[in-house]
Amino acid sequence: MPRRTKFSRRASGSEEIEQIVAANLDTVFLVSGLDRNFNPKRIQRFLVAAHDSGATPVIVLNKSDLCDDAEEVRQEVEALAPGVAVLITSTATRKGLKALTSTYALAGKTLAFIGSSGVGKSSLINALVRDPEAPLPTAEVREKDSKGRHTTTRRELVQTPSGALVIDTPGMRELQLWGADGGLEEAFPEIRELALRCRFTDCGHTNEPGCAVSVALASGELQRARFEAFGKLKAEQDAKVPRERRPGALASKPSWKAKSEGKIPFRHRQWRED
């Protein structure tokens, strides 16, 4: 089937290769464990890739039985992920599993569980699929740091009793951004909104005149931590995502020679049209 959505990352190794983790997803569950695995920066990074995928991201905070105040963590995560649903689950107490089934595991929908090793992706899928005959393998995490043991080693698609298709994926050691399909801007909607009001369409939000982002930072309307997180991911994306993979970009950059011969106009700053 043609790919409608795809969750990609840069394959590990030195070469610039796209690894498509899963395609045609309706929902991508970004799973974290509420044990020592919890890492808000990682969630933010996964969120950018999930927004780029075209599927709807949902953040799953699993192992709530191991956390004294999951609601407090939920609030922290909601602030990192405006507009994204945050679910609190536990395969041990079955908390949140009904919501997962009744809202997302619907007939004809395709879901994938993504996250680092040991967060409980396979355990959650086993709970959804409820097939005691053939459960997906799971294994205990390391005591001292809650690190998983990379138990799932291949991607696998299973069906729930309701008719949803669920993809289990191996735990990711790292997620390097691949695409640049607007996922970063979607993950930081308040910055996107502000940037639309900057005078220059390609404003770098540093010292440009008429920069709405700088004004919002100065007034405290925009949190500096949010802007810095955005800036780091943007720099990574700009450094790693070659121009030709950015949306609307030319397949190859016009050469300096072609430019200087006047065949291709020099790129110049454009005023935003009102």
Give the interface with Zn ion as residue ranges (CB under 5 A).
198, 203, 205, 211, 213
Q: Which of 8, 123, 160, 237 binds ligand GTP (CB under 6 A)?
A: 123
Q: Which is nearer to ligand GTP, 148 or 179 (CB)?
A: 148
178 touches 17 (CB < 8 A) = no
Q: Can residue 32 be called a binding residue for ligand GTP (CB under 6 A)?
A: no
Q: Can residue 27 be called a binding residue for Mg ion (CB under 5 A)?
A: no
Q: Which listed range, 48-56, 101-109, 111-119, 210-218, lies at the site for ligand GTP (CB under 6 A)? A: 111-119
Burial of 209 (0-12, 13-18, 19+ CB in 10 A): exposed
Q: State both tokens at 48.
A: 């950018």
Q: Can residue 120 be called a binding residue for ligand GTP (CB under 6 A)?
A: yes
Q: Render 161-197 in DSSP notation, one character per residue.
A: TTS-EEEE-PPPS-------SSHHHHHSHHHHHHHTT
Alpha-carbon distance 29 to 58, whole Å?
5
Q: Can residue 122 be called a binding residue for Mg ion (CB under 5 A)?
A: yes
Alpha-carbon distance 62 to 118, whole Å?
10
Alpha-carbon distance 177 to 30, whole Å?
15
Q: Can residue 152 be called a binding residue for Mg ion (CB under 5 A)?
A: yes
**What is the closest distance, in whole angstroms, from the C-beta atom of residue 126 to ligand GTP in the complex?**
7
Q: Can residue 91 be called a binding residue for ligand GTP (CB under 6 A)?
A: yes
Q: Which is nearer to Zn ion, 25 or 203 (CB)?
A: 203
**What is the closest distance, in whole angstroms, from the C-beta atom of residue 212 to Zn ion in the complex?**
6
Q: Can residue 37 be called a binding residue for ligand GTP (CB under 6 A)?
A: no
Longest dimension (CA), the chain: 71
Q: Can residue 170 be called a binding residue for ligand GTP (CB under 6 A)?
A: yes
Q: Render 47-87 in DSSP notation, one character per residue.
A: HHHHHHHTSEEEEEEE-GGG-S-HHHHHHHHHHHSTT-EEE
Q: Can residue 62 be called a binding residue for Mg ion (CB under 5 A)?
A: no
Q: Can residue 157 be called a binding residue for ligand GTP (CB under 6 A)?
A: no
**What is the closest distance, in whole angstroms, from the C-beta atom of residue 117 to ligand GTP in the complex?**
3
Q: Which is nearer to Mg ion, 72 or 131 (CB)?
A: 131
| Burial per residue of 136-165, b for 16 or more beta-carbon CB atoms within 10 angstroms, e otherwise | bebeebeeeebebeebbeeeeebebeeebb
Q: Which residue is nearest to ligand GTP (CB)?
A: 171
Q: State both tokens at 263.
A: 């065949």
Q: State both tokens at 252.
A: 């190859």
Chain residues binding Mg ion by CB under 5 A are 121-122, 151-152
Chain residues binding ligand GTP by CB under 6 A are 62-63, 65-66, 90-92, 117-123, 138-141, 148-152, 170-171
